[in-house]
Structure 1
Amino acid sequence: MSKAFDYYVKTKKENEKLSQDLKKNISQISYLRLAAFVIGLFVSVYTYAIEQQVISAVVTLLWIGLFIYLVKLHDKAIQRKNFTDALVKINERAIDRIEDNWNKFQDNGEEFGQEEHPYSGDLDIVGHNSLFQWINSSATYFGRLRLKDYLLKPLKSKDQIKERQEAVKELAKEIEIRQRVNAEAMLISGQSTNPEDLIKWAERPQKEGGSLAEKLITNLLTLAFFTIIFLAIFTETVTYKAFLAVTALNLAVLYLGNKKGGPILDTIHQYKTGIRTYENIIRAIEEGNFSSQSLKKIQRKLYTKENKKASELISELKAISNLISDRRNMAYIIINIAFMWDFRCITMLSKWKSKNGKYLKSWLEVIGEFEALSSFANIAFENESWCFPDLHEEGMILKAENLGHPLLGQRRVCNNITIKDKGSVLLITGSNMSGKSTFLRTVGINLVMSYCGAPVCASSFTASIMNVYSCMRVSDNLEKSISSFYAEILRIKMIVNASKGNNKIFFLLDEIFKGTNSIDRHLGASMLIKQLSKSGASGMVSTHDLELGDLEKEMAKLSNYHFQEHYENGDLRFDYKLRRGISTTRNAMHIIKMAGIEVE
């Protein structure tokens, strides 16, 4: 296996052991916490009962302090264990990807499918058994969105692609920071990962609290509450009715303020774990010692106009969120009544938002961008024999050696391909199951990856920057009353229209016009190939129609290639190697016999 595989196995084992140690540590802290509570409470009650009030008060303060310390220690241990468990999962997934078990990954980006997209459905970019499912390591909302955009909206500029390539190359060497960010992000992947409500709050222009009147009322009501408590304890001049009156007043004011402030506090509490995670991820990115321009740009986005670090400002928001507990919790209710806590938290949140709210979305988008680049970097790290393509804005060329389909793993068979100029067409013939469609998808998916700034599955790869269009996997649409043949016509119309401008179209056509009779299929395919080539579009066409191979005599820019099969002891075998010329073999009758159909 590869160095990457060895690293993943080693890291997985180390973190599994660490997780077990942390589990024991958490259990020990739990017992200590329980003992501190029981023993401390007993001593406090006993010393008070024997009229040692001073000792009782001191003991109470000590055991409560110890208990709070152990609670925090317990929480930190749990957080560390969760982080460690996430690292175990990350390395398990990486091992599965290398061993071709990635199709069990749950996140396949199916919701990103676009029926009208030029190539997504045909090339398996998103959805089941897709490039997204194989490549994605993003766990945050914006990370998944950014990776989707990378795959479905390729870059058009050589300089932009080159810049992203440099970032991916650099991140490929930074495995620890990639896994650190990924592990942190996984801690919130199962929760409300869409931070829409948090961003809406941060970008909402109106001020939500902290006015002079609110501060005055908050402080006066708090003072009144504790004055009543003090007088009741030390002077015994205050009745319980006065205490109830002040409590009722505080509750009434809190109730009135809840309409405006309640949803805000609930939102911040909902994203409490997420805010802590965002801080940790942003700090990890800030601490990276990067040299590529793209990663440096990402880091610069994590500074405000006042040159303050995003991690420090998110930390301030985290500190406020830590003050907000479940507002239905009895302890929180008591604190709320005594200190008018909701109002104080709203004031702090309003102050933070007025200074930093406008930056929050861009910070989260930076996390997403880093995650998307890390997804590509993982692939570069795991496939050292793959190359980063050499891309050109001029011409329409494609030359690749040992080109394979990235998703086929150990079943992959590689081939070479050369397309020299605009208008060039490769006509691929071959019998059933020989590899024609897979080869078209191989070329298409590697072109897409090259324009994303990712490595490609080839030993060398040179290409012009072109717009990829495909017509390979069409089906009927009962809801729209569209037959499969008409759906194919609509798809081809899209490609023809795109080729009419100076759009540098690279097309992939698989068994076109198969929904009609053989005469019309042949004529239609011939006319389409000629028209696309004449318009300057280049591409590949797979077909069973061997007569289309005669176009090579008419079209100087059309070249025939084929796949073939052979038989071993009566069994059908394929080598999936691309050969020059037109196919001369057939296997349909053999396959029909295999299906149990009697052939006369």
Structure 2
Amino acid sequence: MISTYQQLLQEATLTHKQLSRKTQMIGSLRLIVAVVLLGAIYFAFSAQRWIIDLVILLLLVLFLYLVSLHKKTNLLRQIAQAKIILNEKEIAFLEKNEFFTADGKEFQDDSHPYSYDLDIFGSHSLYQYINRTHTFLGRQVLADHFLNPKTDDITTLQKAIEELSQEKHLRWRQEFMATTSQIEDTQDFYQQMEQWAKEQEHTFPRALPPLLWGLSFLAILSVIVGYGWEQELFQILFKSLIVVNLLVFFSFVGKMQKSKLGFENTYRLLHAFQRSITQIEQASGLGSSRFVSLQKQLSAEQSSASKSISRLSRLLDDLDSVGNILVSIPLNIFTFYHLHAYRKLLDWKRTHAQHITPWLTVIAEMEVLHSFATFAYNNPTFAYPSLNDQQLISFEGLGHPLIPAKDRIDNSISFAPHRFVILTGSNMSGKSTFLRALGVNMLLASMGLPVCAQKATIHPMPLLVSMRLSDSLSDGKSYFFAEINRLRSIMETLAQAPCFVLLDELLRGTNSQDKQSGTFKIIEKMVLLKAIGVIATHDLEVCALSEKYPEVLQNKCFESQIVDGELYFDYTLKEGICQNKNATFLMEKMGII
């Protein structure tokens, strides 16, 4: 795996060097042609020979070709540079456990049923571990997959991820993600684009285009005739046409400025989107129903999404100079260049505006699939869970995916329908880590991803967690009140449908007797509501409930041992109730007591 990334890094580095040399060579050649062109123009004024005029024309064509070639080569060089960065990051990720930059902390929500408790967002989070998106919309769509798993599409997503994660598609994935890395989008762009798509535009009169062509023809004719004959009548006509044409042009300037979407260089951003869309449209060898569905969303009746976006980019490029009077006034006096572009933009909007957001969302969804495929590719030992409709949940060799394999202790656990586990263990024995491993892998399974286990089967159901709550000084809410609210929310959700519940040391900050009584009643309520899951507790008296509900409750534990005066943990899940304690021993060893 690492060797593959290293090979791709070497290929990208070599390509980048070759393209850099080519870009420099084209740039130098372009400069030489420009100097020769200027010299030819100088001699043309003095020599007045047709051969020099021909040379000027050929040099001008060559110069424009070199400008275009330099632009294309430089883009390829940037893509190669993006691949270098991408492979360097993947190697550092696998060798040094260095996460990618975007951690999704903006999506963190303390009130969400599980995301805050399971550290889904933030530094060294599951989101940051998986995220390989570059666009703003891609990051949003990925966050939505974490917050609202598409449990109805688990099988579809599994097949798409399993297919895309194959090594034969790695180069295509990296080409696509290197291309999306050139997209510099913002939230404002999408909001402005959606607003523009919904706005009712000025209707371009049908009779206006022929009138514009007629006025352009007369303006050019008056110059030709007036220049050749110097007749006063044509000079008067020309001046009159200048006034008329400018009045027509300026009557549309405000509307044209508004149609530029309020963004500078919007056309460049759309062109970057278009390149990514083209890659999705032209991709071959990917046959999963999820990918085929995304490809179909890019097909319109009249033209493909890439062609439509490319045309929109060109039209906005045409309108970009409308505010430059040194360019726009001469152009529109003789050709109404910007008005014709504006008319074409209105035609485009009527036909395609409603498709813009869905098209851009396809890019975001493809970025998410790439992120998922990279996760699967980087973790070949992880297993895709099978699904069942009997509310059976089972993990063999379960571990937390964010803990490196060399440091991870895996455990196995299974839940029959309506079975609940009371988990006990001394401090630092691994209870909380195990709960998070359970929760994170249930989430991964619900997202169609492989789980950190040798084998797994799940029944998709809502995930409810109460492990790491926070107080809020701004809201005037204490930690205890936040926990009570979370428990109420869990009970209300459980009353509506079966859920997988994870609870860690309930009612902290309450006196021992009240805490024990509350914990007893909460577990009994879980039994009544037929919940599936685990509650971790230090209160061993709670374990007696398994005798009252032997068909529902089972006791499991993590143990610690004192060996040769040192505290030892094996982090292995065992049957039964915890027998050992370590708090007093630790305080004595540290000289606290």
Partner of 1:49: 46
> Shift of the alpha carbon at 1:242?
7.9
Partner of 2:160: 167
> Shift of the alpha carbon at 1:203?
4.1
> Shift of the alpha carbon at 1:384?
1.2
Secondary structure of the equivalent of 1:138?
coil
> Shift of the alpha carbon at 1:380?
1.2
Q: Is the CA contact 2:177–2:367 (under 8 Å) kept in the aligned structure 1?
A: yes
Q: Does 1:96 align with 2:92?
A: yes
Question: Residue 130 and residue 217 in structure 1: after superposition, are their counterparts in 2 closer, same or farther (change >3 A)?
Answer: farther
Query: Paired residue for 2:532, among 522, 534, 538?
Result: 538
> Shift of the alpha carbon at 1:441?
0.7
Counterpart code for 1:167 = A
1:365-384 to 2 correspondence within 5 Å?
A: 365-384=361-380
1:74-93 to 2 correspondence within 5 Å?
A: 74-93=70-89
Question: Residue 244 and residue 65 in structure 1: after superposition, are their counterparts in 2 closer, same or farther (change >3 A)?
Answer: farther
Query: Paired residue for 1:26, among 23, 26, 44?
Result: 23
Counterpart code for 1:227 = L
Secondary structure of the equivalent of 2:260?
helix
Distance in structure 1 (CA, Å) of the matches to 2:211 and 2:507:
77
1:414-433 to 2 correspondence within 5 Å?
A: 414-422=410-418, 424-433=419-428
Distance in structure 2 (CA, Å) of the matches to 1:112 and 1:244:
61
Counterpart code for 1:171 = L
Is 479-488 or 188-197 further displaced after alignment? 188-197
Query: Paired residue for 1:504, among 495, 498, 507?
Result: 498
Secondary structure of the equivalent of 1:399?
strand
Cα deviation 1:356-412 (Å, max 9, x = unaligned): 2222222222222222222111111111111111112332x2111111111122432
Query: Paired residue for 1:116, among 111, 117, 120?
Result: 111
Q: Is the CA contact 1:36–1:63 (under 8 Å) kept in the aligned structure 2?
A: yes
Which stretches in structure 2 are left out of the alignment for 5+ residues?
none
Distance in structure 2 (CA, Å) of the matches to 1:468 and 1:344:
56
Is 517-526 or 169-178 further displaced after alignment? 169-178
Partner of 2:397: 402
Q: Does 1:480 align with 2:471?
A: no
Cα deviation 1:282-316 (Å, max 9, x = unaligned): 2222223332222222222222245x432333333
Cα deviation 1:135-180 (Å, max 9, x = unaligned): 11222333223222221112343xx311221111111122233222
Partner of 1:390: 386
Distance in structure 1 (CA, Å) of the matches to 2:60 and 2:7:
42
Q: Is the CA contact 1:269–1:324 (under 8 Å) kept in the aligned structure 2?
A: no
Partner of 1:283: 278
Query: Paired residue for 1:265, among 244, 260, 269?
Result: 260
1:327-342 to 2 correspondence within 5 Å?
A: 327-328=322-323, 332-333=327-328, 334-342=330-338
Partner of 1:563: 558
Distance in structure 1 (CA, Å) of the matches to 2:31 and 2:376:
50
Distance in structure 1 (CA, Å) of the matches to 2:10 and 2:226:
61
**TM-score with structure 2 length normalisation?**
0.92
Secondary structure of the equivalent of 2:426?
coil
Question: Residue 191 and residue 495 in structure 1: after superposition, are their counterparts in 2 closer, same or farther (change >3 A)?
Answer: closer
Identity %: 31
Is 372-381 or 327-336 further displaced after alignment? 327-336
Cα deviation 1:325-361 (Å, max 9, x = unaligned): 4545577434355432221111111122222222222
Cα deviation 1:180-209 (Å, max 9, x = unaligned): 2212211114667843323433344x3445
Is 247-256 or 575-584 further displaced after alignment? 247-256
Secondary structure of the equivalent of 1:416?
strand
Partner of 1:458: 453
Which stretches in structure 1 are left out of the alignment for 5+ residues?
none
Q: Does 1:491 align with 2:483?
A: no
Cα deviation 1:108-151 (Å, max 9, x = unaligned): 22222233221111112223322211111222333223222221
Partner of 1:578: 573
Q: Is the CA contact 2:185–2:269 (under 8 Å) kept in the aligned structure 1?
A: no
Q: Is the CA contact 1:47–1:55 (under 8 Å) kept in the aligned structure 2?
A: no
Q: Is the CA contact 1:435–1:576 (under 8 Å) kept in the aligned structure 2?
A: yes
RMSD, matched Cα: 2.6
> Shift of the alpha carbon at 1:528?
0.4
Distance in structure 2 (CA, Å) of the matches to 1:569 and 1:60:
92
Counterpart code for 2:164 = L
Q: Is the CA contact 2:222–2:235 (under 8 Å) kept in the aligned structure 1?
A: no
Q: Does 1:10 align with 2:10?
A: no
Partner of 1:184: 179
Cα deviation 1:476-506 (Å, max 9, x = unaligned): 11122111011101101111111223x1111
Secondary structure of the equivalent of 1:265?
coil
Counterpart code for 2:435 = L
Is 485-494 or 13-22 further displaced after alignment? 13-22
Distance in structure 2 (CA, Å) of the matches to 1:362 and 1:190:
16
Distance in structure 1 (CA, Å) of the matches to 2:223 and 2:66:
30
Question: Residue 131 and residue 332 in structure 1: after superposition, are their counterparts in 2 closer, same or farther (change >3 A)?
Answer: farther
Distance in structure 2 (CA, Å) of the matches to 1:203 and 1:116:
33
Counterpart code for 2:11 = E
Secondary structure of the equivalent of 2:571?
coil
Distance in structure 2 (CA, Å) of the matches to 1:57 and 1:231:
23
Partner of 2:342: 346
Q: Is the CA contact 1:563–1:578 (under 8 Å) kept in the aligned structure 2?
A: yes
Q: Is the CA contact 2:298–2:305 (under 8 Å) kept in the aligned structure 1?
A: yes
Distance in structure 1 (CA, Å) of the matches to 2:194 and 2:185:
19
Q: Is the CA contact 1:141–1:193 (under 8 Å) kept in the aligned structure 2?
A: no
Q: Is the CA contact 1:102–1:133 (under 8 Å) kept in the aligned structure 2?
A: no
Q: Is the CA contact 1:9–1:95 (under 8 Å) kept in the aligned structure 2?
A: yes
Distance in structure 2 (CA, Å) of the matches to 1:41 and 1:247:
32
Distance in structure 2 (CA, Å) of the matches to 1:331 and 1:30:
28
Distance in structure 1 (CA, Å) of the matches to 2:189 and 2:382:
34
**TM-score with structure 1 length normalisation?**
0.91
